[in-house]
Structure 1
Amino acid sequence: MPFVIVSGLSGSGKSSLLRTLEDSGYLITDNLPPALWQHMYELTQAQGILDVAVSTDARTRAFLHDLDDSFGGLSLRAPDIRMVFLEADDEVLLRRYNLSRREHPLGENLLLDFARERELLASLRALADTVIDTTDLTVPELSQRVAGLLKTDQRFELRLMSFGFKHAPPRDVDLVLDVRSLPNPYYLPELRPLTGLDPQVAAHVFATQDAEEFYQQLKTFVAAAAERAERTGRHGYSVGIGCTGGQHRSVAVTERLARELTDLNPELILHRDMPSVVEAPLGEGAGGTVP
């Protein structure tokens, strides 16, 4: 894998590019002086870390005087170096700064800062094998461009989790679905001690035509929501599927979605509230809640 150096004008999208690489498994070091590039390469190679990206820009201007020597030394050790330089029109950079309200690293007048920064980073731009103008690019488009250049593994993943509403819905998912309208195996004594992993429980949950139609609509909705997330540049989308206790219906639905939505690379996070050992039903006259 190449050792990637990211540089460019402030506001041109370097942070977005670095996030794209980080999401693809790269080890990221931001704002690294050129004199440390070779040391970083040797250190990561010694640890067996092959996907590495560093950034150097106007923030490290005090260390750019030995840029050519640093790059030359790294070239002797690293068989494949990629330097990506990002830039954009001044009008676009100005608009992005006005939206973010951040201060430019050179910190005087923005338009003057942009001109000074272009001059300051001219040597880095000259070394770059890839220059990307982000003036008309969205963040997802920049991510796709970088993925194509560096062949990063950006496989989208649909993450699934079953849970029980009586234990509270998860707060770390993008979408929460309610499957409590499906037939409840809890009311059949022979199915109550089992879980949604058991074929007979799943068969009961999806036995009726109404239940099957509901599941198909739910599957279509989950697929559409995940595909829209992927089109906006996301690398994953998480869905929580809940029934009352998190033992029967939600587990069966989650397992079936994981089997059938293969195009979205489904990853089963966990069955959050499914007990490892299901307790026997409460005895006659005992108190308890109906799931």
Structure 2
Amino acid sequence: MRVVVISGLSGAGKSTALAHLEDLGYFAVDNLPPALWAELVATLKAAGVRRVALGIDVRARAFLDAAPSAIDALASGAEPVLVFLEARPEVLLARYNLTRRAHPLRGGHLLREIEAERRLLAPLRGRADWILDTSETGPGELGQRLAQLLGEERPFVLRLISFGYKWGPPQVADLLLDVRALPNPHWEEALRPRTGTDPEVAAYVFTGEAEPYYRTLREAARRAAEAARAAGRSGYTVAVGCTGGRHRSVAVVERLARELGEDFEVEREHRDVGKEG
């Protein structure tokens, strides 16, 4: 069983880190007194939970002294790891000014509060397995760094969905690509019963005149997915639409899957290919 304890300075990203761990499948609990950690972990282990994230910060200062020994106590039945997050004082000051939140110590002088917090958390920092400075780290990058440290990186997934505008676009789409300007096999009697997975249908769609338009769409999908991956997202959905969702959109999704599959893990779905009308 793996237990990850997240601590650090207020404003350094602890809440964000816990949220990312939840996305990775961890059962996350924040600021539970350390004396209760062993009981919680035992209860979760009995229920089949194998990954737990525990947060503790200066808001639990009455219990901070017990945290290092509580982490050591977990080692008998789990694999505890302590990650400590910090940032430069001027960065923390700017973040507090931006959010207009009060520091947990509420001493009336933010920089002094930050330094007092640093002293209170020094024992936990000294016990840390990893110390992450988030001064230059955004929320998405913090999630990536955590996943890398823990060896739990999930592959970024590019999801491609073909659909027909007559049935409405998918609500899950991050980006809509309209391919109704491409040649329509529906008007060819021999091609009408087939779908965009058919090589002859695809050849009809991707005429020489259609190539520049298709390449523009492919570049838009690629750049959008790359930006989403760089921002720390776990996936991105591109929906490709034609009129009925049977020919052009299917052919484009199939080709995008082949050509973008070199750079991304791709999942594809042809939502409306079997619909009539």
Instruction: Tell me the TM-score normalised to structure 2 length.
Output: 0.86
Write the distance in 1 (CA, Å) between the matches of 2:30 and 2:195.
48
Is the CA contact 1:21–1:152 (under 8 Å) kept in the aligned structure 2?
A: no
Cα distance between partner residues in 2 of 1:121 and 1:11: 14
Pair 162,29 (structure 1): closer, same or farther in 2 beyond 3 Å: farther
Decide whether aligned partners of structure 1 residues 153 and 47 sit closer, same or farther in structure 2, where only a CA change above 3 A counts.
farther
Q: Secondary structure at the match of 2:236?
A: strand
**Equivalent position of 1:96 in the other structure:** 95
Kindly state the Cα deviation for residue 126 of structure 1 after the two structures are TM-superposed. Answer: 2.5
Who is 2:112 aligned against?
112
| 1:23 and 1:235 in contact (8 A); partners too | no
Letter in 1 for 2:234: H
> Which stretches in structure 1 are left out of the alignment for 5+ residues?
280-291
The question of whether the paired residues in 1 share the 8 Å contact of 2:71 and 2:80 is answered with: no
Cα RMSD for the two superposed structures: 2.5
Partner residue of 2:237? 238
TM-score w.r.t. length of structure 1: 0.83
**Aligned amino acid, residue 101 of structure 2:** R
* Shift in Å, 1:243: 0.9
Shift of 1:255: 2.3
Partner Cα separation in structure 2 for residue 258 and residue 45 of structure 1:
40
State the one-letter code of the partner of 1:43: T
Other structure's SS at 2:226 match: helix
Give the Cα separation in 1 of the matches to 2:68 and 2:137.
Answer: 30
**Following the alignment from structure 1 to structure 2, what is the Cα–Cα distance between the partners of residues 154 and 172?**
20
Aligned to 1:16: 16
Q: Is the 8 A contact 1:23 1:154 kept in 2?
A: no
Amino acid at match of 1:98: N
Task: Tell me, in whole angstroms, the C-alpha distance in 2 between the residues paired with 1:167 and 1:189.
Answer: 23
What are structure 2's unaligned runs of at least 5 residues? none
**Greater CA drift, 36-45 or 81-90:** 36-45
Q: Residue 161 of structure 2 aligns to which amino acid in structure 1?
A: M
Q: CA deviation at 1:12?
A: 0.5
Encode CA deviations 1:46-86: one digit per residue, 9 max, x unaligned.
344333322111233343353244223212222x2210001
Check the 8 A contact 2:68/2:124 in 1, yes or no: no
Paired amino acid for 1:24? L
The residue type paired with residue 85 of structure 1 is F
Alpha-carbon distance in 1 for matches of 2:170, 2:258: 22
Q: Does residue 201 of the first structure (1) align with residue 201 of the second (2)? A: yes
The 5-angstrom pairing of residues 12-91 of structure 1 reads 12-78=12-78, 80-91=79-90
Q: Between the two proteins, what is the percent identity of the paired residues?
A: 52
Q: How many residues are paired up? A: 275
Distance 1:213 1:18 in 2: 45
Which one is further off, 104-113 or 243-252? Answer: 104-113
Distance 1:200 1:40 in 2: 61
Matches within 5 A, 1:251-266: 251-262=250-261, 263-266=263-266
